[in-house]
Amino acid sequence: MGEVIVITSGKGGVGKTTTTANIGTGLATMGYKVVLVDTDIGLRNLDVVLGLENRIVYDIVDVTKGNCKLRQALIKDKRFEGLHLLPAAQTKDKTAVSPEEMKALCAELKRDFDYVIIDCPAGIEQGFKNAIAGAEKAIVVTTPEVSAVRDADRIIGLLEAAELYQPKLIINRLRPKMVKRGDMMSIEDIIDILAVELIGVVPEDEYIVVSTNRGEPAILDPNSRAGQAYRNIARRITGEEVPFLNLEEEEGFMSKLKKIIGLSR
């Protein structure tokens, strides 16, 4: 019996889809059987981030409406043994699926997979309600910005109201340099405000853009710092204790030079 985890945030564009793709790929490379469910109906994205957009035949609405068997709609990733995608429908809207249908779908998926990871749409309406309906655990993604943290707070309240207690937090797009000079809220600041447990911190990383261009999750690149962070998160999801990354960035040229000539420590 697998575990159903929803990746949510409230605010759009904070990295839910990127996180879902990376964690899913990570868990699959660790040998687990994983299915990623895109519930962002009408704004399908997970397929392109994973590089599977050309293989879609059926989607989640086809499954819940009985147009096809669940098995037929699942896309098997040929690169990673164990990774599967259930794509969102692109031509329908979020009311095409009901929370009850999602519950039944998750229950069915959980029988065959170790991890069912649900990519939630932005917002707190029907799409959100669908995405969390069948979930047993939740991961909230935020960025170190006032608007994103505020929305995360609201989402945490709604998750608790839906009996999804103690969600875990991912802080995405952290820029250590900005934190250092006092222009970005730190990890501690955000944890202090939201009072939830941290499961990972993902730095801002250009490689995320490159990997999305290619349709190959950053977690596969040994040089990507975000990839490293996602590898750690995947391991933490399996229950392993992994120390947090030191996000101190490489020193800039000027500060190195100053040190050499004795202007600063």
Work out whether 209 is an interface residue with ligand ADP (CB under 6 A). Answer: yes
Rounded Cα distance between 150 and 131, Å, is 20
Question: What track of x and - describes contact with ligand ADP for positions 97 through 136 (by CB under 6 A)?
Answer: -------------------------x--------------
Which of 16, 44, 84, 231 touches ligand ADP (CB under 6 A)?
Answer: 16
**217 three-state secondary structure:** coil
Which of 204, 217, 231, 237 touches ligand ADP (CB under 6 A)?
Answer: 204
Nearer to ligand ADP by Cβ, of 213 and 264: the residue is 213
Rounded Cα distance between 22 and 194, Å, is 24
Work out whether 25 is an interface residue with ligand ADP (CB under 6 A). Answer: no
Work out whether 9 is an interface residue with Mg ion (CB under 5 A). Answer: no
* Planar angle of CA 111, 38, 169, nearest 5 degrees: 85
Q: Pick from 135, 103, 107, 105: which is nearest to 119 by CA?
A: 135
Rg of the Cα trace of the chain? Answer: 19
The nearest distance, CB 169 to another protein, in angstroms, is 15
Rounded Cα distance between 80 and 234, Å, is 15
Work out whether 20 is an interface residue with Mg ion (CB under 5 A). Answer: no
Rounded Cα distance between 91 and 71, Å, is 21
Which of 15, 26, 123, 134 touches ligand ADP (CB under 6 A)?
Answer: 15
**Residues forming the site for another protein (CB under 8 A):** 145-146, 149-150, 153-154, 157, 179, 181-186, 189, 193
